[in-house]
Amino acid sequence: MTSPYALGATIYCPATHHDLYAIASGQKFPNCRSVVICLEDAVAESDIESGLKNLSKVLTIFAQFGLPQEAPYLFIRPRHLAMAQHLVEWKNIEVLNGFVLPKFCLADLAGWKNTITDRLQVMPTLETLEFFDPGYIQEFRQAMQQEMPSVLALRIGGNDLLNCLKMRRPRHLTIYETPVLTLINQLIGQLTPFGFRLTAPVFEYFSDLALLRQEVERDVLLGLVGKTAIHPSQIDVIHEAFQVSQHDYLDAERILQQDAKAVFGSNGSMLEPATHKQWAMQIIERAKYYGVQPEHNYILRNG
């Protein structure tokens, strides 16, 4: 199964976009690792038919000539379950990697499960009012473990969650300085320990790359595995922020060595494989897809 870290910064592209083929094939943004072709909020009701036609045309080209080697992972975000049930009947649909499931909730779980084939991966989006109830999150987790355990990732829909609070993210603040922080912490605490990986919300102010960098650093600290990008200028900033420090990488390697001591020191800190193994495995996985930060004059001190 695809690692969610492989997705990198995920660009959402309206299905109506005139450059849809160039974006989906990787020609337009070669640094983009995953694209979601959107038929939901990014497409007006009056433009749905033209979006579907544009999407069908692109999928036909891919089916005839194959996906270019540089093509990103490709997903569709349908408008709703009924549209997804229509799309899975298309003969070329399995050119894609999968679906992003919009406004996903327990009421639709059975419908989605019966619609999406096993070959297509899914990323449900958590962006509705129900998730503000901690009891609902627990019920959601238990149902997902039983009915849909191998989702690629769960996507946190920050703007929709703020909308539930009748708010918009302030221009000068990260998402973690809004009331949605409490919910994000609850989602992480109730879902991550049980094997679900979560991606970070979009940062909509694409002109402020410095603040974006601050937010992505917090995303990484919380163990989120990727981030939605609203603009191509954000891609490299997100990827660089997800790089692993040399200090963490070397510590992770030492923790995972078969002959590692039960407790040992490294760079002035204590390492304990029994309690740090999961962290170390995640560091190595992240480095595989994002790389290790170049750091000059790095000195490793063993304790």
> Can you read off the two tokens belonging to residue 104?
């996903």
CA angle 35, 101, 117 (to 5 degrees): 90
Tell whether 160 is in a known binding site: yes
Helices (H), the chain: 20-24, 48-65, 81-87, 109-115, 134-147, 158-164, 180-191, 209-221, 235-241, 246-256, 273-290
Q: What are the distances in angstroms from CA 283 to CA 85, 194, 220, 246?
A: 38, 18, 11, 10
Residue 172's SS3 state is: coil
What is the Cα 246 distance to its own chain's centre?
A: 24
DSSP 89: T
95, 67 contact by CB (below 8 A): yes
Single-letter residue type at 246: Q
Buried-state track 37-73, b at ≥16 Cβ within 10 A, e below 16: bbbbbbbeeeebeebbebbeebbebbeeeebeeebbb
> Can you read off the two tokens belonging to residue 207?
């002109």
DSSP 265: E
Radius of gyration of the chain (CA): 20
Annotated binding-site members: 160
Annotated binding-site members for Mg(2+): 160
